[in-house]
Structure 1
Amino acid sequence: MNTDVIIRRTETRGLAQAAGAMFLVGTLAGVAGVIQDYPLYGGQALRYLLAAAVLLAVARVAGPRPVRLTPRETALLAALSLTGLVVFNICVIEATRHGGPALVGTVLGTVPLALALLDGRPSPRVIGAAAVVVAGATVATGLGSGDLPGLLWSLGALVCEVCFSLLALPLLPRLGAIRVSAYSAALAVPLLAAAGLLIDGAGMVRVPTFAEAAGLGYQSIIVTTVAFFLWYDALPRLGPARAGLFAGLIPVGAIATGALLGLGAPSAADLAGAALVVTGIAIGLSAPGRGPRGDGS
Structure 2
Amino acid sequence: MNVDVSTAARRGWRGPVEAATAMFLVGTLAGVSGVIGEYPVYGGQALRYLLAAVILLAVARLAGLRFVRLTPRETALLAALSLTGLVIFNVCVIEATRHGGPALVGTVLGTVPLALALLGGRPSPRLVGAAAVVVAGATVATGLGSGDLTGLLWSLGALGCEVCFSLLAIPLLPKLGAVRVSAYSVTLAVPMLVVTGLLVDGAAMIRVPTAPELAGLGYQSLIVTSVAFFLWYDALPRLGPATAGLFAGLIPVGAIATGAVLGLGVPSAPDLLGAALVVAGIVIGLSSAGSPAAGERRPTGTRRPAAGESRPVGAG
Q: What range describes the TM-score normalised by the shorter chain of this pair?
A: over 0.9
**Is residue 271 of structure 1 aligned with residue 272 of structure 2?**
yes
Shift of 1:254: 1.4
Alignment match, 1:296:
310
C-alpha offsets along residues 242-261 of structure 1, whole Å, 9 cap, x if unaligned? 11111111111111122223
C-alpha offsets along residues 213-240 of structure 1, whole Å, 9 cap, x if unaligned? 1110000000000000000000000001
**Is residue 195 of structure 1 aligned with residue 196 of structure 2?**
yes
Alignment match, 1:132:
133
The 3 A distance-change label for structure 1 pair 95 and 222 is: same
C-alpha distance in 1, partners of 2:119/2:138? 20
Alignment match, 1:174:
175
Alignment match, 1:255:
256
C-alpha distance in 2, partners of 1:268/1:27? 20
C-alpha distance in 2, partners of 1:147/1:277? 26
The amino acid that maps onto 1:190 is P
C-alpha offsets along residues 8-48 of structure 1, whole Å, 9 cap, x if unaligned? 44331001100100111112233223212211111011000
The 3 A distance-change label for structure 1 pair 276 and 149 is: same
The amino acid that maps onto 1:26 is G
Shift of 1:272: 1.0
Q: TM-score, normalised by structure 2?
A: 0.88
The question of whether the paired residues in 2 share the 8 Å contact of 1:99 and 1:146 is answered with yes
C-alpha distance in 2, partners of 1:122/1:104? 26
C-alpha distance in 2, partners of 1:97/1:263? 16
Alignment match, 2:302:
none
Unmatched tracts of structure 1, length 5 or more? none
C-alpha distance in 2, partners of 1:164/1:63? 26
Alignment match, 1:165:
166
The 3 A distance-change label for structure 1 pair 212 and 149 is: closer
C-alpha distance in 2, partners of 1:3/1:155? 46
Alignment match, 2:72:
71
The amino acid that maps onto 1:29 is A
May I ask how many residue pairs the two structures share in their alignment?
A: 297
Comparing both structures, which one devotes a greater share of its residues to helix?
1
CA RMSD of aligned residues (A): 2.0
Q: TM-score, normalised by structure 1?
A: 0.94
The 3 A distance-change label for structure 1 pair 180 and 3 is: farther
The amino acid that maps onto 2:59 is V
Alignment match, 1:226:
227
Alignment match, 2:26:
25
C-alpha distance in 1, partners of 2:99/2:33? 17
C-alpha distance in 1, partners of 2:137/2:282? 10
Aligned sequence identity (%): 78
C-alpha distance in 1, partners of 2:224/2:166? 16
The question of whether the paired residues in 1 share the 8 Å contact of 2:107 and 2:252 is answered with no
Unmatched tracts of structure 2, length 5 or more? 293-297, 300-304, 312-316
